[in-house]
Amino acid sequence: MRDILSNNKINLVFYAQFLFFIFVSALSLFIFNDSNLFNQLNFNVFCFILIATIGVSHGAIDHKKGEYILNKMNSRNYLFLFYLAYLFFFFLVLFFWLKFSLISLVIFFIISSFHFGSEDTAIFLKQATKLENLFYFARGSIIITSSFYLNFNETDQFIQNLLFEHSNTLLHGINWPYIYWINFIFLFALLIILFVQKKISIISSIIIFIEIIFIALNFYFLPLLLAFTLYFCFMHSTKHIMALSYELDRENPIHGLKKFLVMSFPLTLITFTSALIMLFYLGNNFSLNSSIVKIIFIGLASLTLPHIILGLIYDKCKK
CA 169 – CA 167 distance, rounded (Å): 6
CA 35 – CA 31 distance, rounded (Å): 8
3-state class of 94 per DSSP? helix
Under 8 Å between Cβ of 214 and 146: no
How many Cα neighbours within 13 Å face the side chain of 28? 27
Report the candidate in 255, 268, 117 with the shortest Cα–Cα distance to residue 194: 117
CA 249 – CA 247 distance, rounded (Å): 6
pLDDT of residue 14: 79
Category of 137 on φ-ψ map: left (φ > 0), alpha (ψ -120 to 50) or beta = alpha
3-state class of 81 per DSSP? helix
Tens digits of pLDDT across the chain (319 residues): 554 555 555 567 778 889 999 999 999 888 876 555 555 556 888 899 999 898 888 777 777 777 777 777 766 677 777 788 888 888 888 888 888 888 888 888 999 999 999 989 888 887 788 899 999 999 999 999 999 999 988 898 888 888 865 556 666 778 899 999 999 999 999 999 999 998 888 988 999 999 999 999 999 999 999 999 999 999 999 888 888 888 888 778 788 888 888 888 888 888 889 888 888 888 888 888 888 888 888 888 888 888 888 777 777 776 6
Give the pTM. 0.88
pLDDT of residue 9: 55
3-state class of 39 per DSSP? coil
**Rounded alpha-carbon distances, angstroms, from residue 290 to 14, 184, 229, 239:** 35, 31, 16, 29
3-state class of 16 per DSSP? helix
The number of angstroms, rounded, from the C-alpha of 216 to the middle of its chain's C-alpha atoms is 16
Report the candidate in 46, 14, 24, 37 with the shortest Cα–Cα distance to residue 218: 24
pLDDT of residue 124: 86
pLDDT of residue 138: 95
**Long-range Cβ contacts of 239-245 (<8 Å, 24+ apart):** 239/14, 239/17, 239/119, 239/120, 239/123, 240/58, 240/119, 241/57, 241/58, 242/10, 242/13, 242/14, 242/17, 243/1, 243/4, 243/119, 243/123, 244/58, 244/61, 245/13
CA 160 – CA 254 distance, rounded (Å): 42
**Rounded alpha-carbon distances, angstroms, from residue 148 to 66, 83, 171, 241, 270:** 36, 35, 9, 28, 33
Domain boundaries, the chain: 4-28+40-318
**Rounded alpha-carbon distances, angstroms, from residue 23 to 17, 74, 131, 211:** 10, 47, 31, 12
Number of neighbours of residue 170 by Cβ within 10 angstroms: 11
